[in-house]
Amino acid sequence: MDNLLKKIVIFVVLIVSSNSTAGQTKRESVYVKTPIFEVWYNEVYEQPMKLIYKSENRETNVNRGSMDFKTEKLYHTSDKADYYKNIYDKGHLAPAAAFSDNMVNLKQTFSYLNCALQEQTMNRVEWRLLESQERKWDDEQTLVVTIDLIFDEGHGVLPTGGHIPTRMVKHILFSKDNIYKCFDFENIRPTKGWEEHEVTHKH
């Protein structure tokens, strides 16, 4: 029996060890697919590089309350230290409000895989207003939304190690009408409305 218990303990330790990122080499690109979004994450930058989600006509059934972001055991992400006493918000990419139909979906939006260093005013005003507009558009048809985070040469790096995106480009495809819109936001305090961030073409 003692030998059996020892084997079980060793097996459990091995499983826990395999789920830890401690001591592992940080990856420049790791692809993660969740039930509500797909993300290409840069563990070196501690930031997403690209994220895709679908904005659909979902009912709002649950409230985020005091919910906060959580780290992921299998991936090296940013954490709350990157957002402490600076001008950057924990910016949702796949919006919490778009996935408030049930608690499972809502909680998944609070993963650091879905979180970017966003200048606080940009996140709370123009970015949020565009998200609200998306939810009006998706009353009629599903939107496929792709967000590219751009890190220009010489972009900022926090003392905690998080890299600061220079720009965030949101591509919106209207699935029924096959209409494409693109919005390009500098990651700074905005000086114009969300509509003025629309660009005619962006790669």
**pLDDT, tens digit, for every residue of 90-133?**
999 999 999 999 999 999 999 999 999 999 999 999 999 999 99
Q: What is the pLDDT of residue 18?
A: 38
Tell me what percent of the residues of the chain surpass a pLDDT of 70: 87
In this structure, the dihedral spanned by the alpha carbons of residues 107, 113, 114 and 115, taken in order and rounded to 10 degrees, is 110
User: Taking 70 as the threshold, does the pLDDT of residue 71 lie above it?
Assistant: yes
In a domain, 17, yes or no: no
114, 147 contact by CB (below 8 A): no
In a domain, 100, yes or no: yes
In a domain, 8, yes or no: no
In a domain, 4, yes or no: no
Q: What is the pLDDT of residue 202?
A: 53
As to burial, measured by CB atoms within 10 angstroms (0-12 exposed, 13-18 middle, 19+ buried), residue 61 is exposed
Give the domain range for residue 181: 24-199
Q: What is the pLDDT of residue 145?
A: 98
In a domain, 141, yes or no: yes
59, 97 contact by CB (below 8 A): no
Q: For 125-156, what is each residue's pLDDT tens digit?
A: 999 999 999 999 999 999 999 999 999 999 99
In a domain, 15, yes or no: no
42 CB contacts (<8 Å, ≥6 apart)? 27, 28, 29, 48, 49, 163
As to burial, measured by CB atoms within 10 angstroms (0-12 exposed, 13-18 middle, 19+ buried), residue 52 is middle
Bridge partners (DSSP) listed for residue 173: 144, 180
How many separate domains does the chain show? Answer: 1
Domain of 36: which CATH number? Answer: 3.40.570.10
In a domain, 9, yes or no: no
Bridge partners (DSSP) listed for residue 44: none
In a domain, 128, yes or no: yes
Residue environment code for 179-188, b if the CB has 16+ CB neighbours within 10 A, otherwise e: eebbbebebe
Residue 15 to residue 141: CA distance in whole angstroms:
43
Write the Ramachandran bin of 178: left for phi over 0, alpha for psi from -120 to 50, otherwise beta.
Answer: left
Q: What is the DSSP letter of 4?
A: H
183, 116 contact by CB (below 8 A): no
Q: What is the DSSP letter of 70?
A: B
